[in-house]
Amino acid sequence: MVSKLLFVCLGNICRSPSAENIMNHLIKQRQLADTIICDSAGTSSYHIGSPPDRRMAAAARQRGINLVGQARQFQPRDFQEFDWILAMDRENYQNILAADPRGEHYHKVKLMCDFSRLYPDKEVPDPYYGGPEGFNYVIDLLMDTCEGLLEFVLAQDRSAK
């Protein structure tokens, strides 16, 4: 069984591509590439086609992770395509749910910080307008939440067998 994960933030150039690439890094380390597929999107159309933010990429690179990808906007068809949709903050969460007016896919949408093991944060903060410390913090937070999410997904897969 293949699990498909979609990470969503506002512009799809900082938080969600970082989560996607961190998760892909963890998946590769554990040799799970044939069982978990990741993508990312933004709720806005601000940065469609843009690569990940260079400041975010620099923070990830310091931890041995290369950020690749191209920003795209979240689409209602993503509900059919993905098993889990991970929102970086409550506003993204609400915007995703608004694209599902009948609430058919509510159970698939989660807040990324629900999977945090080490941090008290309820949302992944947007570092876009801050300094380097914000980008570093977000990478560290996402490293933790992605580990927690990976354990959750693997447990779901085990229980489905």
Token look-up 């890094």 returns 25
* Pairwise CA distance, residues 148 & 48, whole Å: 29
Which entry of 9, 38, 113, 146 is annotated as an active-site residue?
A: 9
Residue 110, SS3 per DSSP: strand
Active site residue 126: yes
- Reported as type and span, the H/E element at residue 4 is strand 3-9
DSSP secondary structure letter of residue 100:
-
Which entry of 14, 15, 38, 78 is annotated as an active-site residue?
A: 15
Which entry of 53, 78, 89, 126 is annotated as an active-site residue?
A: 126
Active site residue 9: yes
* Pairwise CA distance, residues 17 & 139, whole Å: 11
* Pairwise CA distance, residues 12 & 46, whole Å: 9
Q: Which residues are catalytic?
A: 9, 15, 126
